[in-house]
Amino acid sequence: MSLDGNEDQPPWARSVSDVLERQGVSKGEGLAEEDVERRLEQFGPNELHEAERRRWYEILADQFKSVIILLLAVAGVGAFLLGDTVEAVAIFAVLLINGAIGFVTEMRALSSMESLQELTVIETRVRRDGQDREIPAAEVVPGDIVVLEAGDVVPADLRVIDPSRLRVDESALTGESVPVGKTSEPLEGDVPLAERENMLYKGTYLTRGTAEAVVVDTGPDTELGEISASLQEAAEEQTPLQAKLDELGQKLVPFLLVVAAIVLVSGWLRGQNLFLMVETAIALAIATVPEGLPIVATLVLARGMRRMANRNALVTTLASVETLGSTTVICTDKTGTLTENEMTVAAYELSNGSVEVTGTGLDTEGAFQHGGQKRDEPQDPVLREALEVGVLCNNASVTESDGEVEETGDPMEVALLIAGLKAGLDRDHVLEEMPERREVAFDPSAKMMATYHDLDGRYTVAVKGAPEAVVESSTRVVTGDDTEELSSSERDAWLEKSDRMAEDGLRVLALGRKEVDDTEDAPYENLSLIGLVGFIDPPREEVRSTIQGCQDAGMRVVMATGDHAGTARNIAQSVGLVDADDVEVVEGRELDDPENLSQEERDRFVNAEVFARVAPENKLDLIDLHQSVGSIVAMTGDGVNDAPALKSADIGVAMGQRGTQVAQEASDMVLRDDNFESIYHAVREGRIIFNNIRKFVLYLMSCNLSELLAILIAALLAFPLPLLPLQILFLNVVTDIFPAFALGTCEGSEDIMDRPPRDPDEPIMTRTNWTELGFYGVLISVATIGAFVIAGGMYAGGMETEEAVTVSFLTLAFAQLWHVFDVREITSGTLRNEITTNLYIWGALGLSTLILVGAVYLPGISLALSTAPIGLDGWLVVLGMSLIPLVVGQGEREFRRRFGTPNFGTMLENTHPD
Which residues carry out catalysis?
Answer: 333
Q: Is the CB of residue 636 less than 8 Å from the CB of residue 332? A: yes
Who contacts 17 (Cβ-Cβ below 8 Å, separation ≥6)? none
Q: What's the rounded Cα separation, in Å, for the pair 178 and 412?
A: 8
Q: What's the rounded Cα separation, in Å, for the pair 804 and 786?
A: 11
Q: What is the greatest pairwise CA distance in the chain?
A: 124
Q: What's the rounded Cα separation, in Å, for the pair 511 and 350?
A: 10
Q: Which helix (H) or strand (E) holds 384?
A: helix 381-392
Q: What's the rounded Cα separation, in Å, for the pair 327 and 558?
A: 13
Residue 528 bridge partners (DSSP): 476, 513
Would you give the end-to-end CA distance of the chain in angstroms? 58
3-state secondary structure 532-595: EEEEECCECCCHHHHHHHHHHCCCEEEEECCCCHHHHHHHHHHCCCCCCCCCCCEEHHHHCCHH
Q: What's the rounded Cα separation, in Å, for the pair 849 and 899?
A: 35
Neighbouring CB atoms inside 10 A of 763's CB total 16
Q: Which helix (H) or strand (E) holds 71?
A: helix 67-81
In terms of phi and psi (left: phi > 0; alpha: psi -120 to 50; beta: otherwise), the region of 505 is: left
161, 339, 691 from 904: Cα distances, Å: 78, 50, 21
Q: In 222-309, at which residue ranges do the beta strands (DSSP E only) sit? A: none
The DSSP-derived string for 426-491 is: -HHHHHHHS-EEEEEEEETTTTEEEEEEEETTEEEEEEEE-HHHHHHHEEEEE-SSSEEE--HHHH
Looking at residue 340, the DSSP 8-state letter turns out to be -
Q: What's the rounded Cα separation, in Å, for the pair 290 and 693?
A: 13
Q: Is the CB of residue 635 less than 8 Å from the CB of residue 646? A: yes
Q: Cα angle at 712 between 707 and 718, to 5 degrees?
A: 130
Tell me whether strands 586-587 and 507-516 are parallel, antiparallel or unpaired: unpaired
Q: Which among 366, 373, 481, 382 is positioned nearest to 420, based on CA atoms? A: 366
Residue 895 bridge partners (DSSP): none
Q: What's the rounded Cα separation, in Å, for the pair 251 and 287?
A: 17
Q: Which helix (H) or strand (E) holds 670?
A: strand 669-671
417-443: buried (b, 16+ CB within 10 Å) or exposed (e) per residue?
bbbbbbbebebeebeeebeeebbbbbb
